[in-house]
Amino acid sequence: MFDFLPDVPLDFSPSYQLAANIDHAQYGDGYEQSQPAGINHQRRSYSVQATMLTRDEYDMLHDFLAPRLNLTPFYWQPPWDLIVRQWKCTRLGGPRPTSARFASLSATFVEDFTP
């Protein structure tokens, strides 16, 4: 069983992308045949930001994501999505302190289909 992303306020406007993995067969007469590469051929990804985090919020989010980076999936429900999905964090960074009291963090979440 995977954990849920900690309840730390992420900025509301994450950048969303949908990519499709398609197998193509090109024939000599110019004809091409395409089909989905597997049952989970479409994969969502989000670039998320968390700004104006307190030290405790930053530590909670960073300490959750850093050890899981590209390894361990977690559950998260994106804004306006009705379904909690499984994700992996594939990138983590950003300026740590943005002022004497606040910090920010950026990350990329990619949909994961590990059973």
Which pLDDT tens digit goes with each residue over 8-60? 999 988 899 999 999 989 998 889 999 989 899 999 999 999 999 999 999 99
User: Which residue range is the domain that position 63 belongs to?
Assistant: 15-19+40-111
Give the 3-state secondary structure of residue 4. strand
Q: Give phi and psi for 95, each to the nearest 5.
A: -70, 130
Q: Is residue 83 part of a domain?
A: yes
Q: Is residue 24 part of a domain?
A: no
Q: Where are the beta strands (DSSP E) in the chain?
A: 15-20, 22-26, 32-36, 42-53, 74-76, 85-93, 103-111
Q: Is residue 8 part of a domain?
A: no
For the chain, the domain total comes to: 1
- Which pLDDT value is given to residue 32? 92
Please state, rounded to an integer, the average pLDDT across all residues of the chain: 92
CB 47 within 8 Å of CB 88: no
